[in-house]
Amino acid sequence: MKPELIFELASLAAILGWLFLAAGVLGRPGALRRALLLAGGRVIPLLLCAAYVVLLVAYWGSSAGGHFGSLDGVAQLFSSRGKLLGGWLHYLAFDLFIGRWIVDDTLRTFRSRRSLVFTLPLTFLFGPAGLLLHFAIRSLQSQAPAGRRLVAETAGD
């Protein structure tokens, strides 16, 4: 399969995963929510991980002189289109997995799902920035007085 096709399929799969996460968060608790969150936050990231491993093996040694010891070494690693594609799949898989973790953490701790309106798109677009925002919101919510937390937890979620 050509790298460009793998890129397109992987990107489409990731977008589908994010849509499944969003639909799962918006939906009512139950079997459909569980299925959407499983598909979007576990199955698709694991498929992307498997494709990453295949690319890693297929393009092993394709960028002579590349290494992780310097920025120039990393640039040399990604001079191979196959390794660049592998890096892209790495980002897609991990950001989507972290998105699912953010959803799980929010639902498990009975925090308002409203924060996901900000954290999930930011995680989709800028990975670590979305995770950082999630922890900032989580910290602020845990410092809120108990009465305000109860109102936030029961207000339409």
55-73 pLDDT, tens digit each: 999 988 888 888 889 999 9
Whole-angstrom Cα distance, residue 69 to residue 36? Answer: 40
> Residue 99: pLDDT above 70?
yes
* pTM of the predicted model as reported, rounded to 2 decimal places: 0.84
In the chain, the number of structural domains is: 1
Instruction: Give me the phi and psi of 80, to 5 degrees please.
Output: -85, 125
> Residue 156: pLDDT above 50?
no
Query: Would you place residue 151 in the very low, low, confident or very high pLDDT band (cuts 50, 70, 90)?
Result: very low
Considering only CA atoms, which of 49, 38, 41 is closest in space to residue 93? 49
Averaged over 17-36, what is the pLDDT? 94
Query: DSSP E strands: which ranges in 69-121?
Result: none
